[in-house]
Amino acid sequence: MIPPDLQELQSNGVVGAGGAGFPTYAKLLRPAEVVVVNAAECEPLMHKDKEILRHYPEEVISGLKRVMGLAHARQGIIGIKNKYTDVIARVGSLVGDSVRVHALGDYYPTGDEFVLVKETVGRVIPPGALPLDVGAVVCNVETLWNVHHRTPVVEKFLTVAGAVRTPCTVRVPVGISYAEAIAAAGGATCPSYHLLIGGPMMGILETDVQRPVTKTCGGFLVLPVDHPLVQRRKMTYQVINRIGKSACDQCSFCTELCPRYLLGHPIEPHKAMRGLVFTSRGTTMVPGTEFCCECNLCSLYACPEGLDPKNVCVQSKQMIRAAGKKHPQAGQPCQVRPMAEGRKTPLPNLIRRLGLDRYDNHGPLRPGVLETRRIVLPKKQHVGPPAEAVVRPGDRVAKGTLVAAVKEGQLGCSLHSSMDGRVTAIDPEIIVEA
Ligand code: SF4
Ligand code: SF4
């Protein structure tokens, strides 16, 4: 049973808008000491959180104070990159006594919850634990913008970057197609391209531009099909394992730069690579890989051989989970490694290494909200089982009408129409409106 004061967040469909999609009410079921606003936005070329803070600081601070009240937290901290001096000055002048702005270095992955909490609160979340285990709740900027509005979540901010004429941040109805967002950014500048949804580091490859923008999409990159980042995403596990097994020289750079290793967690990706050699199947369970946050720094930046320790760690992690094994250091306190400060990865270096310097941009927010005549709403836009449709084909709907809900007692959030129109189709995964 969700407490009444959190029920509104569930019925309005408020989920983590930074990519994870965890229902916000579920983060607030236990009290916290501090609420940290994640405005670090360390995915290269992504800008929507900084833009929301720049244009709507009062709304974000109001949402933060509401969440602080719901979590019984006495302190709020807004973590934002120190390079955004104008935003820091403006937000700093509005926050009041219980909230402070924390200027973060321009590193990757400062937006990782574990790194962010260590930087802003000064506490290290133990391996396998949650921010709440050290008294913190982390919320994305846009999530707080949604909390402030106290209405159904039907719009989304996202940055459209890469090979487009006018890279920018746009505000769109949830369910609009990627193609419409690309058109709003002036169209693609190359004839044949794919998308990296979420950004170049942790983003997912998408080849179909007609697929819909969801509540969790913070932006995407348009890249030519022959860009190395696209080609890397197309490699199969089999090829990753075969090349890794024969080419890894065990230099351990992947471990030395791994942000979770530097926090003191017992993860060493070079050992996962070593593990490839010891099994004919090409994959083995290597303890510690369950703490990999999949930031991709080892594969896309650290490894001098261009190998893919991240995906090897992910395979190992999946096997460990399937086997139900528990690491002896899970949940145990740990110490930041002494060399951590000097091993941070500067964002400009990363952008160069990724071959993205020619696409660098500031993602300015375009005024207004894009309009559309058709939306596709996936029923699963949150962590937990999909919502179930409460409308039928042919039903008239208005912007904000409830179209899908989760069963009582299940983790998840309601889903609403983002336009005035009619339901044209429903299948097990999506609701289509026009
Ligand atoms: S950095 Fe690359 S070559 Fe070095 S140990 Fe890691 S995977 Fe192997
Ligand atoms: S993806 Fe690589 S660098 Fe990132 S946490 Fe996992 S092992 Fe460490």
Q: What integer pLDDT is reported at residue 246 of this predicted model?
A: 86
Is 350 within a domain? Answer: no
Place of tokens 């260590």: 118
Q: How far apart are CA 116 and CA 150, in angstroms?
A: 27
Query: Do 143 and 169 have their domain in common?
Result: no
Query: Do 250 and 321 have their domain in common?
Result: yes
- CATH at residue 379: 2.40.50.100
The closest alpha carbon to 23, from 127, 205, 164, 153, belongs to 153
Q: What integer pLDDT is reported at residue 277 of this predicted model?
A: 84
Query: Which ligand sits nearest to residue 309's alpha carbon?
Result: 1
Query: Do 215 and 271 have their domain in common?
Result: no
pTM attached to this predicted model: 0.95
- Rounded to the nearest angstrom, the distance between the alpha carbon of 76 and the centre of ligand 2 is 29
Which ligand 2 atom is at minimum distance from the Cα of 272? 7
Whether 161 is in the pocket of ligand 1, judged by its Cβ within 6 Å, is: no
For residue 405, give the amino acid letter. A
Q: What integer pLDDT is reported at residue 311 of this predicted model?
A: 96
Count structural domains, the chain.
Answer: 4
- For residue 333, is the peptide bond before it cis, meaning its omega torsion is within 30 degrees of 0? no
Strand partners, 140: 38
**Substitution site in 292, 301, 320 for ligand 2 pocket (most atoms within 8 Å of beta carbon):** 292
- Rounded to the nearest angstrom, the distance between the alpha carbon of 254 and the centre of ligand 1 is 6
Domain's final residue, options 149, 164, 183: 149
Q: How far apart are CA 183 and CA 201, in angstroms?
A: 24
Give, as one character, the DSSP assignment of residue 211.
Answer: S
- Rounded to the nearest angstrom, the distance between the alpha carbon of 202 and the centre of ligand 2 is 11
Is 312 within a domain? Answer: yes
Whether 286 is in the pocket of ligand 2, judged by its Cβ within 6 Å, is: no
- CATH at residue 73: 3.40.50.11540
Residue identifier of the C-alpha nearest atom 3 of ligand 2: 258
Query: Do 126 and 181 have their domain in common?
Result: no
Query: Do 270 and 367 have their domain in common?
Result: no
Is 125 within a domain? Answer: yes
- Rounded to the nearest angstrom, the distance between the alpha carbon of 257 and the centre of ligand 2 is 8
Q: What integer pLDDT is reported at residue 284 of this predicted model?
A: 81
For 298-337, b where at least 16 C-beta lie within 10 A, e where not — what string?
bbbbbbeeebbbbbbbbbbbebbeeeeeebebeeeeeeee
The closest alpha carbon to 287, from 264, 319, 257, belongs to 319
| Residues contacting 227, CB < 8 A, separation 6+ | 355
Query: Do 21 and 104 have their domain in common?
Result: yes
- Rounded to the nearest angstrom, the distance between the alpha carbon of 273 and the centre of ligand 1 is 7
CA angle, corner 105, sides to 269 and 200, nearest 5? 55
Whether 249 is in the pocket of ligand 1, judged by its Cβ within 6 Å, is: yes
Which ligand 2 atom is at minimum distance from the Cα of 291? 5
Query: Do 16 and 144 have their domain in common?
Result: yes
Is 91 within a domain? Answer: yes
Query: Do 244 and 315 have their domain in common?
Result: yes
- Rounded to the nearest angstrom, the distance between the alpha carbon of 272 and the centre of ligand 1 is 10
- Strands 345-346 and 107-108, bridge-based pairing: antiparallel
For residue 165, give the amino acid letter. R
Tally: H helices and E strands in the chain: 16, 18
Whether 305 is in the pocket of ligand 1, judged by its Cβ within 6 Å, is: yes
- Contact (CB, 8 A) for 239 and 311: no
Whether 423 is in the pocket of ligand 1, judged by its Cβ within 6 Å, is: no
Query: Do 9 and 129 have their domain in common?
Result: yes
Residue identifier of the C-alpha nearest atom 8 of ligand 2: 258
Query: Which ligand sits nearest to residue 291's alpha carbon?
Result: 2
Query: Do 117 and 37 have their domain in common?
Result: yes
pLDDT (tens digit, 0 to 9) for every residue of the chain, 434 residues total? Answer: 888 889 999 999 999 998 889 999 999 999 999 999 999 998 999 999 999 999 999 999 999 999 999 999 999 999 999 999 999 999 999 998 999 999 999 999 999 999 999 999 999 999 999 999 999 999 999 999 999 999 999 999 999 999 999 999 999 999 999 999 999 999 999 999 999 999 999 999 999 999 999 999 999 999 999 999 999 999 999 899 889 888 999 999 999 999 999 999 999 999 999 998 887 666 789 999 999 999 999 999 999 999 999 999 999 999 999 999 999 999 999 999 999 999 999 999 999 999 999 998 999 999 999 999 999 999 999 999 999 999 999 999 999 999 999 998 899 999 999 999 999 999 999 999 99
Give the three-state DSSP class for 248. coil
Q: What integer pLDDT is reported at residue 116 of this predicted model?
A: 98
Q: What integer pLDDT is reported at residue 1 of this predicted model?
A: 81
Number of neighbours of residue 174 by Cβ within 10 angstroms = 26
Helices 85-92 and 48-55 sit at what angle, rounded to 10 degrees? Answer: 40
Query: Do 166 and 267 have their domain in common?
Result: no
Q: What integer pLDDT is reported at residue 288 of this predicted model?
A: 97
Domain's final residue, options 120, 149, 178: 149
For residue 427, give its domain range.
373-434
Domain's final residue, options 128, 149, 170: 149
Which ligand 2 atom is at minimum distance from the Cα of 289? 7
Q: What integer pLDDT is reported at residue 381 of this predicted model?
A: 95
Query: Do 118 and 72 have their domain in common?
Result: yes
Give the three-state DSSP class for 280. coil
Residue identifier of the C-alpha nearest atom 2 of ligand 1: 303
Tell me the Cα Rg of the chain: 21
Q: What integer pLDDT is reported at residue 77 of this predicted model?
A: 98
Whether 260 is in the pocket of ligand 2, judged by its Cβ within 6 Å, is: yes
Is 349 within a domain? Answer: no
Whether 298 is in the pocket of ligand 2, judged by its Cβ within 6 Å, is: yes
The closest alpha carbon to 169, from 59, 77, 52, 86, belongs to 52
- Contact (CB, 8 A) for 336 and 262: yes
